Amino acid sequence: MCGIVAYSGPKDASKILLEGLVALEYRGYDSAGLVTTHSGIFKAVGPVAELKKKVPESVGGSTGIAHTRWATHGVPSELNAHPHEDCGKTIALVHNGIIENYQELKSALQKAGHTFSSETDTEVIAHLYESYKTAGKTPKDAFLATLRELEGTYGIALIDRAHPDVVLVACMGSPIVIGIGDGEHFIASDPSAIVRHTKKVLYLNDGEVAIVTPRECQVMTLGAKKISRAPETIEWEVEEAKKGGHAHFMLKEIMEGPEVLRTSARGRLRPEEGDVKLGGLLSITHELKRIKRITIVGCGSAYYAGLVGKYMLEEYAGIATDIDVGSEFRYRGLPLEEGAAVLAVSQSGETADTLASIREAKRRGLLTLGIVNVVGSTIARETDAGVYNHAGPEIGVASTKAFLSQLEVLALLTIFLGRQRHLSDTEAKRIAKELASIPEKVEKILKNVEPIKRAAERLKGATNALYIGRKYNMPIALEGALKLKEVSYVHAEGYGAGEMKHGPIAMIEPSFPTVAIAPRDSVYAKMISNIEEIKARKGPVIAVATEGDTEIAKKADEVIHIPETHEMLTPILSVVPLQLLAYYVGVAKGYNVDRPRNLAKSVTVE
């Protein structure tokens, strides 16, 4: 979503700010802007490249702030783009999040004589700060007083031209990270904007404020109580955020799948013992033994990964498991009894609805767990315990390698919890050994993409498509359809194949293709029956099937084979060709698959 970059140090701020905005482009945005303490504000609608055209070679100023905006209040326009100023044009700020009481504040400020220039909720912050400065407060006290009046979520970076080397920063429900350099500080909503400059960082927690100058970074609470916290180290390299010779980040990240799977399991999976060590859960081992029910919460692809996890945990760990969309969880009044745990699945660790679900669970006194990719993210910090994916930065908006990692971590968690209960030694070893071999099997799929390209040729002219699967692969049908929608804009629906006669079969005709996920598993015969029903109505079928299955070729128009594996692990293999299928269709249609229209990588507002 929206991205923040700020800098205070000895260098030309505008160049550092523009570099940071480029690094944040993957998040999705509609406009961009920047300002230094020695320049006017520069804004542009569209990509950062349009903003660059407006920024002179020499702007001046070694302290500044910048932003990429994804519209919430007010249409995408230069007027509504950040930064925003006060009436006197001495204060400028950038903001991620939503100020829920902005209308009330705006009305009061207008009555006091303030004039507004935009339709945004953000602008009230500048005018509110101005009102406190005019009343004689110091920048720190004016900022704290302003923040105490705000209701909602925010990540804020504010500069005051009267104090040209200071950046005032605040965090409440929208991430902020501060990079510590040598006589300089970098501020961003995402580490990818600052990792090229420093790996030494401080993550602000909700309700924390920072006063940043080139020489120091003072962190405090909203009550002005000082906070002392050791910085953390970013573990990934800036090179990891580059395409590595591939045409698109999406393709690069799909191709990174095998190594991601190895990394996610490294030091955790013990195939010979049929056991798993998850260091992030060691502190709550006894609590985990007592849990009776798990509710998995996620949004988008993370929700579908959680749905696969539900099947895994119920069948092999013996734990009753619910799955809920993050945006619905806290509104349902779920009767979560003692002994229940809530597990959040989120690549970014900042997904607003998932984070809100965790906070609701904590309010009810429930154990909260997380499966998160971004170290130091809000969900990682606020859950009681959890497991990191270690998938590295994922730049493409459509999740690919992170989704694979989520499935693997859920499999690891299933073994871990299963061994605490009734999962037999023999079955645990069988799953663990097969899980250890999964990276090589994904590599095998990636080395034979021609059948996937042929299927993409058949699919690229379609207006609509149906994806079907059963049991473990029903969620993969949902995920496959989502990928096609995201990057090729082809309308696709994922369904449990058993639901065909309850509606979807009415759509089948020669121009309506179906992607059927039909590995040789416990529901294979039923999947074949569903394919037969589609072919009887002259619907074209693209099948994802197990290697060696020659019979399915007599029924499907195109067949994509995957290696044989344990039934519980088939989703890790079956989703890979569906990711590539969506990629090839999107590219064939001439779309930017890395940045699909209207979408953002990290949804940090409701």
Q: Tell which residue, 147, 207, 210, has the closest CA to residue 178.
A: 210
The CA-based dihedral angle spanning residues 197, 202, 208, 211, taken in that order and rounded to the nearest 10 degrees: -50
**Rounded-to-integer distance, Cα 122 and Cα 112, Å:** 18
The pair of three-digit structure tokens given for residue 342, joined into one six-digit string = 């809530």
Active-site entry in 2, 171, 217, 299: 2
Check: CB of residue 496 under 8 Å from CB of residue 595. Answer: no
Written as one string, the DSSP assignment of 543-559 is EEEETT--GGGGT-SEE
Catalytic residue at 87?
no
Place of tokens 């905005």: 21
Check: CB of residue 383 under 8 Å from CB of residue 369. Answer: yes
Query: Per DSSP, what are the bridge partners of residue 169?
Result: 157, 210
- Altogether, the residues listed in the chain come to a count of 606
How far, in Å, are 33, 140, 535 from residue 81 at the CA level?
7, 25, 52
Active-site entry in 310, 471, 485, 601: 601
Cβ contacts of residue 477 below 8 Å, gap of 6+? 467, 468, 469, 494, 495, 496, 497, 515, 517
Exposure string of 59-98, with b = 16+ CB inside 10 Å and e = fewer, is bebbbbbbbbbbbbebeeeeebbbbbbbbeebbbbbbbbb
**Rounded-to-integer distance, Cα 361 and Cα 45, Å:** 40
Decide: helix, strand or coil at residue 124.
helix
Q: Tell which residue, 450, 479, 485, has the closest CA to residue 465.
A: 485
**Rounded-to-integer distance, Cα 102 and Cα 124, Å:** 6
Catalytic residue at 2?
yes
**Rounded-to-integer distance, Cα 402 and Cα 514, Å:** 26
Active-site positions read 2, 601
